[in-house]
């Protein structure tokens, strides 16, 4: 048995994972407002204890603890150099958890972990070259080439969301303009629609969202686009075009056999993946498209937990 932990921006989930990559038990706790390292570390220790106890496994039968966390992780020490969600710098989480439990502990970037999980346990058949694109509030990605997760020289490779599609484009949270994420990340898309509604736009989107700007999500925007809403037609059309362009660039660069798409925006929309795939097929080089498939992830929000539990 292994334990996988996924530290997100709003919640921490720990799961007991068996040797077949199935999460047999899962517990979660909210991150809350106070995000100091010591407090959250305590929560993680508590979750791991609960999962082990309720799953009926003693500490000495746990093979490994894997932790998935957004941000940059130092090569070798696996210290969290910077976590944008939690504001941590140089957090020695791997060392602290390993020392506390006396169990081998491994830390991995959350989207790398999710890609690894989908690669190893989600795909129908084993493949050697895949790209994972996860679209939630932002965009994260992972790259597996020749069966190896790509970490890059300083362990911060695979930042698919910040490839620049237009240097004069929308402002990105990373400080640049025109990143893939700034065009296709869920929170950026919703914010563009929300802004127009605040400025007085009323269309089908206003009804679909029930007049609730806080509850607005990309599923609403896609639906409004399908029903002929002007604003959403324009904004969603742009999302599809840029997503297809981003996918085409990645496919040309890395020549994967499978592109795995995951994250809340992918699971919360009906046609996005198929529509973007068509654009990708128009833009990518023919040679890069040969034998390529685009699939939705099969592990859902357990991908990072499962991946973290097995990646090394």
Binding site for Zn ion (CB under 5 A): 162, 172, 174, 176, 179
Residue 174 C-beta: closest distance to Zn ion, Å: 3
The nearer residue to Zn ion, 131 or 184, going by C-beta atoms, is 184
The nearer residue to Zn ion, 86 or 172, going by C-beta atoms, is 172
The nearer residue to Zn ion, 179 or 209, going by C-beta atoms, is 179
The nearer residue to Zn ion, 103 or 111, going by C-beta atoms, is 111
Residue 172 C-beta: closest distance to Zn ion, Å: 3
CA 312, CA 113: separation in Å to the nearest integer?
10
The nearer residue to Zn ion, 188 or 310, going by C-beta atoms, is 188
Residue 267 C-beta: closest distance to Zn ion, Å: 23
The nearer residue to Zn ion, 119 or 170, going by C-beta atoms, is 170
Residue 11 C-beta: closest distance to Zn ion, Å: 24
């Amino acid at each position: 048995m292994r334990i996988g932990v996924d530290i997100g921006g709003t919640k921490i989930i720990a799961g007991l994972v068996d040797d077949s990559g199935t999460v047999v038990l899962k517990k979660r706790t909210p991150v809350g407002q106070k995000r100091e390292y010591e407090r959250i570390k305590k929560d993680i220790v508590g979750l791991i204890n609960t999962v082990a106890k309720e799953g009926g496994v003693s500490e000495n039968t746990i093979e490994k603890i894997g932790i998935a966390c957004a941000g940059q992780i130092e090569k070798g020490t696996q210290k969290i150099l910077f976590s944008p969600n939690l504001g941590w710098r140089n957090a020695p989480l791997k060392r602290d958890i390993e020392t506390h439990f006396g169990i081998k502990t491994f830390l991995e970037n959350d989207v790398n972990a999710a890609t690894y999980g989908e690669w190893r346990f989600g795909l129908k058949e084993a493949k050697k070259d895949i790209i994972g694109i996860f679209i939630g509030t932002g965009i994260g990605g992972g790259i597996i080439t020749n069966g190896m997760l790509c970490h890059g020289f300083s362990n911060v490779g695979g930042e698919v969301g910040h490839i620049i599609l237009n240097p004069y484009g929308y402002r990105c949270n990373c400080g640049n303009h025109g990143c893939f994420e700034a065009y296709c990340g869920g929170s950026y898309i919703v914010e563009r629609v929300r802004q127009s509604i605040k400025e007085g736009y009323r269309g089908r989107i206003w009804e679909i969202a029930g007049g609730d700007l806080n509850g607005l999500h990309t599923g609403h925007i896609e639906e409004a686009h399908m029903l002929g809403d002007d604003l959403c037609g324009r904004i969603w059309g742009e999302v599809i075009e840029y997503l297809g362009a981003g996918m085409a660039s990645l496919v040309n660069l890395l020549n994967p056999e499978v592109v795995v798409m995951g994250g809340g925006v992918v699971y919360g929309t009906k046609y996005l993946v198929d529509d973007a795939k068509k654009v990708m097929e128009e833009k990518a080089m023919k040679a890069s498209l040969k034998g390529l498939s685009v699939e939705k992830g099969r592990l859902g929000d357990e991908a990072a937990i499962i991946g973290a539990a097995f990646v090394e």
